Chain A
Amino acid sequence: MAIIEVAGLRKAYGGRPVVDGVSFSVDDGEIFGILGPNGAGKTTTVECVSGLRVADEGRVRVAGLDPVAEREALTRVVGVQLQRSEVQEKLTVREALELYAAFYERPADWRELVEELGLADRIGARFGKLSGGQRQRLFIALALIGRPRVVVLDELTTGLDPRGRRNTWRLIERVRDSGVTVVLVTHFMEEARHLCDRVALIDGGRITALDTPVGLIGRAAGSTVMSFVPSGPLPEGELAALPGATDVARKDGRVTVRGSEETVNAAMALIARRGLTAGRLRVESASLDDAYLDLTEGDRP
């Protein structure tokens, strides 16, 4: 069942469309990723979902609520972690949690949250003295303190080291396991692949693809990559003519062919016909990175 429905969302700033007809829905209990290059409209989209911005056009419903007309009710259902928004510098972790807990009728127990988030030894520390990772964890705690049904996390792990990122991912999974729907804005492919049930790729204010991470990878041209060292000469032209092949490259005697599974089978047959062998053969799926680059236009030369 969909807990978030977005249909035909449009938003322009100063005549320039930032979100240009975005539609998607998020199921209850899902981790839904919104992925895309900088300036693609990701943040504006989730701001419209969280009631922080008023869309120019389109229909948004979160748990049946209109984020603009029923904003008050929405704030009790949605918890957010926003980019570039802090708490008062001299507020301690504990005071920030108590303050935000007071805004809700049935808040979560902040002691459990700090325990789970590994902030228990920092509850007396002022916000200004926290490290980047500790701040992020505090923001997650503040997003969860009202026991929301949906949390929106905007660039959650930006600025975290790999360990901090992994810990945060585990936390997000636990949040989802507790029944909360998660909307995750990110530009880390690895993060989307690891966490998300489904991913919407946004580019230039539009959704260019919406699928599971595995589905996205498969959808991109050249989703399978094989590489090998042929035991004898093998014309590149013949490889490029194989069914589904999108790219052939040769470096230091090693040939790399991008294509589909069909390409791999055809290449093996070709090698066999020529009486050659494929040394040091490797066959891999392309990463979500490759899919991302293939499916977004933004950074193409």
Chain B
Amino acid sequence: MTATTVVLRTEARLFAREPGALFWIVAFPALLLTALGLVPAFREVDEELDGLRVVDLYVPIAVLLAMIMAGVQSMPVVLSGYRERGILRRLSATPARPSSLLAAQLAVHGGAVLVAVALTLAVGWLAFDVEPAGQPVGYGLAVLLAAFTSLALGGMIAALTPSAKAAQTLGLVIFFPAMFSAGVYVPVSTMPGLLGDVVELTPFGASAAALDRAAAGNWPHGLDVAVTGVWGLLFLGVAARWFRWE
């Protein structure tokens, strides 16, 4: 087995030993959707929501919530902690590059997000008859793009914070605006005029709009895709510029 494979297997194993991360990333979004879906009124068609139900709107929101948990709450704390404890430094004294650990963390968190997305879509579909995605290819691309941007944001947080504690604090500062812009409190498509327009310029707001469009059977708007992608590249650029191995 190559070094990269062993690092990946090791990080996956370690991730599985973190019940907190597993719960908040993989289980919580689906549980939130279940809780909302169990409210009878949320399962009724609402004319003000263009004939959709509240539970329909919350499927993409739960999907984004998994990404926020992974990218903002979990991964940067792990990475900054690895740096703080000299784990990356120790690794740089071996033939394995510390970047392999970074890549493994991205892969593990990305994998957890995809499991969470699948679980959320399955719960919505099987329990509450939410059509998984009217435009599956568009939906899939929007999911991948949003996952990329949220993990790039996590990389940026890890790059800007010297310790696990600092990463946790900065993560928390970003967590609430991220949740708001993803529509956890008020779905983005129901936000009034100007607020909605502004939120659609944020990474998670644009992702939410793209997912909504794809769920309804259309291709995401180019603008939403571009906004998410540009944010993602920006985060990645900051992460690459300021990330330190020790």
Docked CA distance A82–B72 (Å): 31
Query: Is A99 a contact partner of B93 (Cβ separation < 8 A)?
Result: no
Once the chains bind, are B93 and A86 in contact (CB under 8 Å)?
no
Closest chain A residue to B4, Cβ basis: A102
Residues of A within 8 A of B95 (CB): 72, 75-76, 103-104, 146
Chain B positions 82 through 106: 1 when the CB is less than 8 Å from some CB of chain A, otherwise 0: 1001110110111110000000000
B82: chain A residues within 8 A (beta carbon): 88
Give min CB distance, B230 to chain A, whole Å.
34
Stretch at the interface among B10-18, B32-40, B124-132, B137-145: B10-18
Interface presence of A100 (CB below 8 A): yes
Whether A52 contacts B94 by the Cβ 8 Å rule is no
Of all chain B residues, the one with the shortest Cβ separation from A102 is: B6
Of the candidate stretches A29-37, A90-98, A158-166, A203-211, the one touching chain B is: A90-98
Q: Does A100 contact B94, Cβ atoms closer than 8 Å?
A: yes
- Once the chains bind, are B87 and A52 in contact (CB under 8 Å)? no
Give A84 to B13 CA distance when docked, in angstroms: 24
Given contacts A88-B82, A102-B1, contact A82 B93 (CB under 8 A): yes
User: Given A84, A85, A88, A98, which contacts B6 in the complex, CB threshold below 8 Å?
Assistant: A98
B165 to chain A, nearest CB (A): 15
B227 to chain A, nearest CB (A): 36
Q: Contact at B85–A85, with CB atoms within 8 Å?
A: yes
Known contacts A99-B10, A102-B1: A146-B89 contact under CB 8 Å? no
CA distance in complex: A46, B94 (Å):
15
A82 to B245, CA, bound (A): 15
Asked if A90 and B14 sit within 8 Å, CB to CB, the answer is: yes
* CB–CB B86/A85 < 8 A: yes
Most buried by B among A76, A99, A146: A99
Contact A102 B3 (CB under 8 A): yes
Query: What DSSP secondary structure best describes chain A's contact surface?
Result: loop
> Contact: B3 with A85, CB < 8 Å?
no
Residue B7, interface by CB 8 Å: yes
**In the assembled complex, A185 has its CB within 8 A of some CB on chain B:** no
Q: Is the CB of A103 within 8 A of B14?
A: no
Q: Which of B58-87 contact A (CB under 8 A)?
A: 82, 85-87
Our pick among B3, B6, B17, B90 for the contact of A82 (Cβ within 8 Å) is: B90
A87 interface contact, C-beta 8 A: yes
Q: How far is B96's CA from A82's CA once the two chains are assembled, in angstroms?
A: 16
- Given A72-B95, A75-B93, A90-B14, answer yes or no on A103-B87 (Cβ-Cβ < 8 Å): no
Report chain A residues within 8 Å CB of B90: 80, 82, 85-87, 142
Task: Note all chain B residues with C-beta closer than 8 A to A89.
Answer: 85
Q: Does residue A51 face the partner (Cβ distance < 8 Å to B)? A: yes
Query: Known interface pairs A99-B10, A102-B6. Does A75 touch B87 (Cβ–Cβ under 8 Å)?
Result: no
Contacts of A76 in B (CB 8 A): 95
Q: Is A50 in contact with chain B by the CB < 8 A criterion?
A: yes
Name the contact of A52 in the complex, choosing from B10, B18, B89 (C-beta under 8 A).
B89
What's the nearest-Cβ distance from chain A to residue B77, in Å? 12
On whether the beta carbons of B7 and A82 are closer than 8 Å, the reply is no
Q: Check B89 against A82 for contact (C-beta < 8 Å).
A: yes
Residues of B in contact with A (beta carbons under 8 Å apart): 1-3, 6-7, 10, 13-14, 17-18, 82, 85-87, 89-90, 92-96
Beyond known contacts A85-B90, A91-B14: 8 more, CB 8 A cutoff: A51-B93, A75-B93, A82-B86, A82-B89, A86-B86, A86-B90, A102-B2, A102-B3
Q: Which A residues form the contact surface with B (CB < 8 A)?
A: 50-52, 72, 75-76, 78, 80, 82, 84-91, 95, 98-100, 102-104, 142, 146
16 CB contacts below 8 A, A to B, read: A52-B89, A82-B86, A82-B89, A85-B87, A85-B89, A85-B90, A88-B14, A88-B87, A90-B17, A90-B18, A91-B10, A95-B13, A100-B94, A103-B6, A103-B95, A146-B94
Closest 3 interchain pairs by CB? A85-B86, A102-B6, A85-B90
